[in-house]
Structure 1
């Protein structure tokens, strides 16, 4: 009888430990926010913005834990619908005339090829998260065009598993960072401002 109670207690203890190590799935609301620029870099140059989600994998990654295959992270909303208005607002703040009907309007097509936020494995020392975002840009005006590719890749270690709020903040920051890298491209800026590509 004593042995049975001991086994039952041990079994319940294991279940509690596993449950505490488990991570639930999470859907992240994508809502990128850019910092207000210090000064405009354009003078009303016309631009039309399009954003496409061409990621091969729509799952961002796993939160890890006891059951990593079910503790997945996905987006709660449509990537294109979330990013497009944020980029438009930022370009307006930078001095561009967004969605102009001008004949010299630049068609700025932003294509997301990758968005990764993944805890690869539990090694017992901290909690590593792999982060990656990759976008392409296809800018065209009349018979001219400019293409670019931009990538952000980093790994961040946490003492404990990141919370839902931390995950959301880091994923949104990753999207903003790769888009800021794109907009910092001097050749893209020159093309948006009317210069012909070399």
Structure 2
């Protein structure tokens, strides 16, 4: 009888500890992979490209568990610098001329939102949602074009999502929002009027 009680207590303690899972911080490496059809088609206009990260914090979200302070998800590296480099590459590959001064068009690409959230569906299932939003503003001869592009995705797991699942989720929404921005027909039309 004593052995059965002791086994029951050990099992209960294991369940309790599993329910209070503590996760270490995670840094996600963003490596955009754009489809060829997301690149606009340029006419040779000169552009000045500037990138901004307008988020108030580098924190993306919290992985979950009882100790949220220890399970923060953030981005690895400098996303503003990455966005600057990527935007320059995209515009150059599209056939626009990159210049520092006297550009036909001034372009600002901005990261506005990058978020992650986990909620419990029931005792076993979890739902993780990732979202990303970018904006673009183009200015030429007093005319202004602006637009915003958002992507969101949800995954369901039987436990808290793993680091690999989180990285895949966040890279998916990041890439999807970027592709929508770069392939925006309105932006392409505005640029090609110059």
Aligned to 1:59: 59
Offset of 1:70 from its aligned partner? 2.5
Offset of 1:116 from its aligned partner? 0.6
Distance 1:22 1:39, change over 3 A: closer
TM-score, with length taken from structure 2: 0.80
Separation in structure 1 between the aligned mates of residue 135 and residue 52 of structure 2, nearest angstrom: 10
Aligned to 1:131: 130
Aligned to 1:42: 42
Q: How many residues align?
A: 191
Q: What runs of 5+ residues in structure 2 fail to find an aligned partner?
A: none
The equivalences for 1:86-105 within 5 A come to 86-97=86-97, 99-101=98-100, 103-105=102-104
Distance 1:13 1:183, change over 3 A: closer
Aligned to 2:77: 77
The range that moved more, 50-59 or 154-163, is 154-163
Residues 64 and 122 in structure 1, CA contact (< 8 A), matched pair in contact too: no
Say which structure, 1 or 2, has more relative contact order (CA 8 Å, 6+ apart): 2
Separation in structure 1 between the aligned mates of residue 51 and residue 103 of structure 2, nearest angstrom: 20
Separation in structure 2 between the aligned mates of residue 39 and residue 26 of structure 1, nearest angstrom: 31
Residues 87 and 109 in structure 2, CA contact (< 8 A), matched pair in contact too: no
Residues 136 and 147 in structure 2, CA contact (< 8 A), matched pair in contact too: yes
Aligned to 1:150: 149
Residues 62 and 120 in structure 1, CA contact (< 8 A), matched pair in contact too: no
Offset of 1:24 from its aligned partner? 2.1
Q: What runs of 5+ residues in structure 1 fail to find an aligned partner?
A: none
RMSD after superposition: 2.9
Separation in structure 2 between the aligned mates of residue 29 and residue 18 of structure 1, nearest angstrom: 28
